[in-house]
Chain A
Amino acid sequence: MTQGPSCHIVVIGAGSTGAAIAHDLALRGLRVTVIERAGVASGTTGHNQGQLHSGARYAVSDPVAARECVIENRILRRIMPQSLELNGGLFVGWTEEHFSYRSNFLEACARCEIPARELPVPEALRLEPSLNPRIHTAVEIPDGVFDPYRICLSFLASARSRGAEVLTFTEVVGLNPPRGEVSVIFRQTRKKMTIGADLIVNAAGPWAGRVAALAGAKVEVEASAGVLATVDERVCNKVLNILCPPADGDIVVPLRMSSILGTTSWTVANPDDISIPEGHLDQIFRVAQGLVPGIRRYPLRGVMTAARPLMVQSGTGGRSASRGFACYDHAGEGVPGLMSIVGGKTTTARAMAEMLSDRVCEKLGIRAECRTQDVPLLPHRLGVVR
């Protein structure tokens, strides 16, 4: 049986990774406190295109991430069906270059066990009348759409129902993992407090390096920024992707009554201060216009930018970097009591949480199986915290 309840884990960050970890650990019977310096999903997760990946986008370039996506896609459909717009997705092509990518793409999808089915062009145009009428290829894949903020709330609602505490607007100002101490400041009252932890988990996304540094530990994470633009019209129901290797602005995601276009990719030094480079909005619209020729007719609704926390591997960066994830135990560098997790995507947040929570339990000698694959999440509204 678990000795879980005696162990207290402090999770830093209430994005999709931190929220999923809180849910996983609470479900295994551990005591969890989540600390977030602003509101839930106020960082990378919130500023998210909302694409529930089928994995097809990464099938050719990053098959490991592609496989993770298609597996997690199925699991999320099971545990949070009410929180997803499940209308599928299309990869469409209209140039010769797109056509030459086609067989490569279909073979890669098959290798990654991603269900991909070619649709006759007239059928695709009937389903999505705003699509470029000159397309020669349309492949249907099981993409979907999620509401990033509300995914986090659902994970947190479930964690809280099992005793987890979520402290928002609470900033970590000091870390002493060997002694199990997390020093925080409550932003509202400016009061300081030290929270005791048996283990500290750093799930701060692109800020993970900064958090680790508070403990004298090192996390290498590349902050890869992207710009997204939203128009005031639902131009499609399926997620529309261009049949080409991942590139700037090649996806249109319908969400509620609007559509999100994006994204771009460049490395930034400070994820707190990302200014939108000249030309990025134009670039996004120029590419999206290929998919949906009428896209410029609709009023611009909003513009956003955030940094993806990419795993650093030598020789890669930005677009070509893996969307995979990794966790680190800092005991190896002389800082026991601290683990970090970087990389990944909101689609794979549950899997990231499973991997990290397995490591946490192993480290603490707790025998508890992961159950997040099967336990349905609670409604997001129960996860709204002060």
Chain B
Amino acid sequence: MKRGTLLRIHRAAGWADFRVEVRGGAYVLEALEEAWRQDPTLLFRHSCHHGSCGTCGMRINGRERLACLTPIAVIGDPGRPIRLEPLRNLPLIGDLLVDLSPLAQGIETTNLPLTRMVGDGDGDGTPVFPFVRFENCIECGLCLSACPIAGHDPRYLGPALLAAAGRIVQEPRASDPGSALAQVDREHGVWRCHAAFDCTEVCPTGVDPAGLILGLRGRLLAHARKGKAR
């Protein structure tokens, strides 16, 4: 059964309305693809459709979300349009399309590997053999867009990069946790965060950037205390 949905999309020329028909149970991304079939000039990014690639981040009714994981039935008020806007704090290319390359390059400076080792005692279940899986962070930029500090301090390293450094300190693998700590120990690094927790709230994969940032601060303070005691 198809259902009518109204999308109100923020474009260069202002808001544009698209009336689309989608299946019951559809996600916002499916409605957006339907809008694209009506108007092929519409710009947006998508790839995996299940919250793994991290390319379809946008603001949906004012909040950062992945369009592929947001069911219309949950976000939409019957009779009211669903508002779609591009992510903030990243260069806007057009419509819902932002340039994610500055974010990717920033995270790359931490050298965070794509995979993590998981062994006994991780999470609630206890795996019986150590296994490898991808890091939680899908580098989607939702945290950066939601961060109130990133909005007015362009020099701020931002929650995604800081969370990546935090993961290296948690699980160094081949990387040097000392250099990760040194990288973030500065005014526009971990000390700039105001602990608003918007990053943690919008993260679609449970990375908890705010928690990792506070953890990094704790490590740095502990190091400083040790230094003084000596």
Residues of A that sit less than 8 Å from B by CB: 38-42, 45-48, 50, 82-87, 126-127, 129, 147-150, 169, 187-188, 190, 228, 230, 234, 237, 254-258, 260, 272-273, 275-276, 301-304, 379-382, 384-386
Question: What is the bound-complex CA distance between A265 and B139, given in angstroms?
Answer: 31
Contacting residue for A147 out of B45, B53, B205, CB 8 A: B53
Interface code B7-49, partner A: CB below 8 Å = 1, 0 otherwise? 0000000000000000101010000000001001101011111
B134 touches A147 (CB 8 A): yes
Minimum distance in angstroms from B55 CB to a CB of chain A: 6
**B104 near A82: Cβ-Cβ < 8 Å:** no
Nearest-neighbour CB distance to chain B for A143, whole angstroms, equals 13
Give the shortest distance, in Å, between A303 (CB) and chain B (any CB): 7
Interface SS of chain B: helix, strand, loop or mixed?
loop
Within 8 Å by CB of B50, from A40, A260, A381, lies A260
Q: Assess the B114–A228 pair: CB atoms within 8 A.
A: no
**B134 and A255 contacting across the interface, CB-CB below 8 Å:** yes
Min C-beta distance of A180 to chain B, whole Å: 27
In the complex, the answer to whether B47 meets A385 with C-beta atoms within 8 Å is: no
B133 contacts A169, C-beta separation under 8 Å: no
**B49 contacts which chain A residues (CB < 8 A)?**
46-47, 302-304
* Among B105, B127, B206, contact of A237 (Cβ-Cβ < 8 Å): B127
Does B68 touch A at the CB level, under 8 Å?
A: yes
Contact B205 A257 (CB under 8 A): yes
Contact A303 B27 (CB under 8 A): yes
Complex alpha-carbon distance, A386 and B55, angstroms? 12
Give the docked Cα–Cα distance between A86 and B130 (Å).
Answer: 11
Q: Say yes or no: A148 contacts B47, CB within 8 Å.
A: yes
Chain A residues lying within 8 Å of B138, measured Cβ to Cβ, are: 256
Cβ < 8 Å to A, chain B residues 141-162: none
| Distance in angstroms between the alpha carbons of A258 and B66 in the assembled complex | 15
25 A-B pairs whose Cβ atoms sit less than 8 Å apart in the complex: A39-B45, A39-B46, A41-B48, A41-B53, A46-B46, A46-B49, A47-B49, A83-B115, A85-B132, A85-B134, A187-B41, A188-B93, A188-B97, A230-B51, A256-B135, A256-B205, A302-B48, A302-B50, A381-B104, A381-B108, A382-B104, A382-B105, A382-B108, A384-B100, A385-B101
